[in-house]
Amino acid sequence: MDNQKLPTVLLTGFTEFGEYGKNVSEVLMAEIEANLHLFPNAAVVTRVLDVDYSNAEQQFDRAVLETEPDLVISFGLSWSIDEIRLERFALNIDDASLPDNTGVLRQGSEIISGGTLALKTTLPLPEIYESLKNQNIPVKFSNHAGAFLCNHIFYHGLTKFSDTSPLIPYGFIHLPPLQTQVTDLGRTVLTQEQLLQAAVSIVNASLQSLGD
């Protein structure tokens, strides 16, 4: 197939923040870039966004402008989970307990003044879920993506793509921390190999929905 005819898929992660060290989503973006041959049915491009309310929006918008994607999926870290979480809704609220990497703390603030309270992902979550389960990759559904940068960029993206024609599917996926970051012996998280395998499955399942 001519590469020019392949759908363009934009994948985003975040830089490290706070006391967590490496961000699993940034590590995943590097793994994807090193293994683009695993995505023969798409032209995959990755971007890593700053954990910064203002810069993240600008970087996201610039990436969309530069790549003209047919599908966009964002990934981020959720420290407390041990499996992949498929986010159903983005909420119009910034209400974090931690500041972003520039020291900005947003609590009880609307992302878009007067905007819709909640926006639903446009990714085919049931198909993604089944694809991951069939490969024995731990996965759960989640009804909201928190109230920090992950939810912020999720809501921003859904708003941005709400009036595109044709629709550009967009959604957010939360990832557990890296194995090397988990010190509690009782926790079992995904290996980097499993995370890459999951990303391939998520992209492939999402691609099948294009044009539906």
pLDDT in tens, the chain (212 residues): 444 589 999 999 999 987 777 899 999 999 999 999 999 999 999 999 999 999 999 999 999 999 999 999 999 999 889 999 999 999 999 999 999 999 999 999 999 999 999 999 999 999 999 999 999 999 999 999 999 999 999 999 999 999 888 899 999 999 999 888 886 657 778 999 999 999 999 999 999 988 65
Tell me which of 57, 83, 87, 156 is the catalytic residue.
87
3-state secondary structure of 44: strand
Which two three-digit tokens encode residue 51? 């954990």
Neighbouring residues of 141: CB distance < 8 A, sequence distance ≥ 6: 85, 86, 88, 125, 129
Catalytic one of 150, 152, 156, 193: 150
Q: Does residue 152 have an active-site annotation?
A: no
Active site residue 174: yes
The DSSP string of 69-87 is: -SEEEEEEE-TT-SSEEEE
